[in-house]
Structure 1
Amino acid sequence: MTELQGLNPHLALFSVQNEAFRPYGRILKGYDFNEVMQQMEQTDIPAEGNVYLTSVKQLEQTAIKGQLQQHVYGGMEIQLGYCNGRNSNLNGLEYHKGSEINVAVTDLVLLLGKVQDIRDNKYSTEHIQAFFIPQGTAVELYSTTLHFAPCKVTDDGFKCIVVLPKGTNEPLEHKSEAITEEDELLFMTNKWLLAHPERKILIDRGAYPGIVGDNIVMMY
């Protein structure tokens, strides 16, 4: 942690154990993630970029799915997928109507913000806080927490299990005419997204260019 903080003087970087994490989420304790962690050993980290799968049968056939569905989501249907990759940039920020659970299969860093700091569909990166999540730690990110792909802390990249309400991040059946300002941010099912203008691949797919400031880089 100390070394990472020294390499990233431009970032407010904390341990997930720090009180600064409380507005964004909580560490999930009392659950056994060993079975899904073992399943993740069968997954690969791409040579470049990230890969995200919304729903993976091998993960969803584990005992932890039913426990999380009942105890964290109050009986709502959920999906278990993963995000593996080599990302080091902010690139964008998203939020969902419902918590997201991230299980750090490797050490990783999350760049987080708050929905409350969005103004006129713009979000300034000066509000970003970064949190180091050690391998084996599971966190619940509240629905008001802005987040995106994790950042790697080694050359090997990262692996992260992603749990969400069922159907989240699937393509929209149709996009209705906007009624509110927020509607402009709706990018996929239950996914509101602000992209950094530098992230042309997202802009070209229709993402709203709402990030103001540097496209933060996480050094390691």
Structure 2
Amino acid sequence: MNKYEKICKQNPTYTIKQISDPEFTKYGKIYTNYDVTDVMKYMDENITIDKTSNIYVPSNAELEKIPSMQTIATDIFAGMPFEAGECTGQSSNFTAVEYHQGSELNVMLTDVVMVLGKRNILEENGTFNAKEQGELFFVPRGTVVEFYSDTLHYSPIKVDNSGFKIIVMLPAGSNQPLPENFHSNNPRIVKKNKFQVVHESRTDKIKQGAQIGVSGDLIELVPLK
């Protein structure tokens, strides 16, 4: 039994599709033409997974210098300044959705499950019920994947109990703190180029000003031991 089959068996109440499923194509694109051996070596040797917390570094200068990162950024962002950083952690549930102006590209350093949706659902309904309106995809280690700008997403859900590790590439400045004098009429803006709504259970983010916009029961997966 492979890892995909194991995580499906472990969580029989959820439909988890493979990233190769045709249903994924409305959310993004898989790239198989990049050799990311250099970046995987860097991440394996230098970036650890915290045992309790999720940690996201929007911009890691050492990571951004790696040749494969430079090549991917040129192809995806077409000469625009970009940032690349690591996202690691222990998420086993899905408590928020976000989107950006511009695609996000991920390189997966562990197997993960991504919960995805489309922004038009949020716009039409005012909320997004991840359990009913989202789709779950198993994404194996080594995958290079672009998520389109209208794809709702959030931190990966770990497949293994040890946690998850991915690279996040975005237009430069994304997910960085807003200036103190920043003002907008858009209540979804929580950081630069980060539009987010959360589930009512995320009282930590609500206290920081995030709006409630994820409804229904939480998606919660049981990881593999």
Contact 1:39/1:58, CA 8 A, preserved across alignment: no
Length, aligned pairs only: 216
Identity of aligned residues (%): 35
Change (3 A) 1:177 1:145: closer
Letter in 2 for 1:201: D
Most deviating of 6-15 and 47-56: 6-15
Cα offset for 1:74?
Answer: 1.3
- Given candidates 95, 103, 127, the residue that maps to 1:122 is 127
The one-letter code matched in structure 1 to 2:196 is L
Aligned pair 1:148/2:147, yes or no? no
Match of 1:168 among 174, 190, 194: 174
Distance (Å, rounded) in 2 between the aligned partners of 1:177 and 1:167: 17
* Amino acid paired to 2:75: H
Q: Which amino acid aligns with 1:138?
A: V
TM-fit CA distance, 1:65: 2.7
Structure 2: runs of 5+ lacking an equivalent: none
Q: Residue 39 of structure 2 contacts residue 69 of structure 2 at CA under 8 Å; is this kept in 1?
A: no
Q: Secondary structure at the match of 2:211?
A: coil
Counterpart in 2 of 1:26?
A: 29
The whole-number CA distance in structure 2 between the counterparts of 1:72 and 1:120 is: 31
**Are 2:74 and 1:70 equivalent residues in the alignment?**
yes
Equivalence for 2:193: 190
Counterpart residue identity of residue 16, structure 1: I
Q: Distance in 2 between matches of 1:24 and 1:216?
A: 19
Q: Which amino acid aligns with 1:216?
A: I
What are the Cα deviations for residues 57-88 of structure 1, in whole angstroms up to 9, with x where unaligned?
Answer: 11011112321222111111110101011111
Report which stretch shifted further, 14-23 or 166-175. 166-175
For the residues of structure 1 that align with 2:80 and 2:184, how far apart are their CA atoms?
28
User: d(CA) in 1 for partners of 2:90 and 2:68?
Assistant: 27
For residues 184 and 149 of structure 2, the distance between their equivalents in structure 1, rounded to whole angstroms, comes to: 24
Q: Does 1:207 align with 2:213?
A: no
Look up the equivalent residue of 2:110 and give its one-letter code: T
Equivalent residue, structure 2, for 1:45: 49
Partners of 1:12 and 1:128 within 8 A in 2: no
Which structure carries more helix by proportion?
2
TM-score relative to the length of structure 2: 0.92
Q: 2:11 & 2:18 partners in 1: Cα distance?
A: 14
CA distance in 2, matches of 1:91, 1:31: 32
1:47 CA displacement: 1.5
